[in-house]
Amino acid sequence: MSALEIRDVSHAYRKPALRGVSFSIEPGDFVLLLGLNGAGKTTLFSLIAGLLGLQQGSIRVLGHEVGRSAALAGCGFVFQQSALDLDLTVAQSLRYHAALHGLSRSDARKRIEQELERFGLAARMHDLVRTLSGGQRRRVEIARALLHRPCLLLLDEATVGLDVPSRRAIVQRVRAQCAEEGATALWATHLPDEVEPGDRTIVLHEGQVRDDRRDIAAASLPDYFAGLAS
């Protein structure tokens, strides 16, 4: 069973944003969804999350039709726009998420400590989210998305606006979650330097899948996009 299966998905606002998008992702893979601004990445994520209704095509998440609670329970989402409550502490924010996913208090405590340690945020546990920097808030969001050990992680421009060390730390943490714990990740980005040799890279351009392979070299991508745009 694929972790994510997208079949012939099209979506239009006033104009088409996605046109006949199909791909599937096998469990344990870390896959990049690479596309310039406006390519349709967020639209696709919103459809997977059930935030937008499907107009055409089908999406199965962990074997379940999208929109079913069973599909969402196994997912961890990080959207481009922050979804953290600034007036909660880091620990409160994570505890709330853990409770929503039915974790016991002791499991939640252990995992919160573990994730904050991994993200270098243990010392900030009792600080209000609003007192954190942008990069620290992003780390909290990703720690939160990992807390219930989702089988499928969907990250939309999770490192946007961050400095290089923060970006690297976040990507590596998600890659490790796939390699060590068998999670599957779809990582949407417009930054070619997040592609590592051997990564499966799906190129989305003007709402269509234009490429899908493992041998796209990061260094060639600026020229590649220039070619698509011309």
Q: Would you say 31 or 91 has its CB closer to ligand ATP?
A: 31
Closer residue to ligand ATP (CB): 38 or 63: 38
Cα separation, 175 vs 158, whole angstroms: 13
Q: How far apart are CA 192 and CA 215, in angstroms?
A: 13
CB of 35 to ligand ATP, least distance (A): 5
Least distance (Å) between residue 86 CB and ligand ATP: 22
Q: Which is nearer to ligand ATP, 13 or 215 (CB)?
A: 13
Work out the end-to-end distance of the chain between its first and last CA atoms, rounded to an integer number of angstroms.
39
Q: Which two tokens stand for residue 25?
A: 């992702």
Angle at 59 between CA 101 and CA 200, to 5 degrees: 90
Q: Tell me how far, at minimum, the Cβ of 113 lies from ligand ATP, in Å.
A: 33
- CB-wise, 27 or 50, nearer to ligand ATP? 50
Residue with tokens 């994570």: 94
User: Which residue's structure tokens are 């107009």?
Assistant: 55
Minimal distance in Å, beta carbon 20 to ligand ATP? 15
Cα(40)–Cα(55) distance, rounded to whole angstroms? 15
Decide: helix, strand or coil at residue 88: coil
Binding site for ligand ATP (CB under 6 A): 13-14, 17, 35, 37-43, 80, 190
153 — phi, psi (to 5°)?
Answer: -105, 130
Q: Of 42 and 93, which CB lies nearer to ligand ATP in the complex structure?
A: 42
Supply the minimum distance, in Å, between the C-beta of residue 209 and ligand ATP.
Answer: 13
Nearest in space to 33 (alpha carbons), one of 170, 210, 201:
201
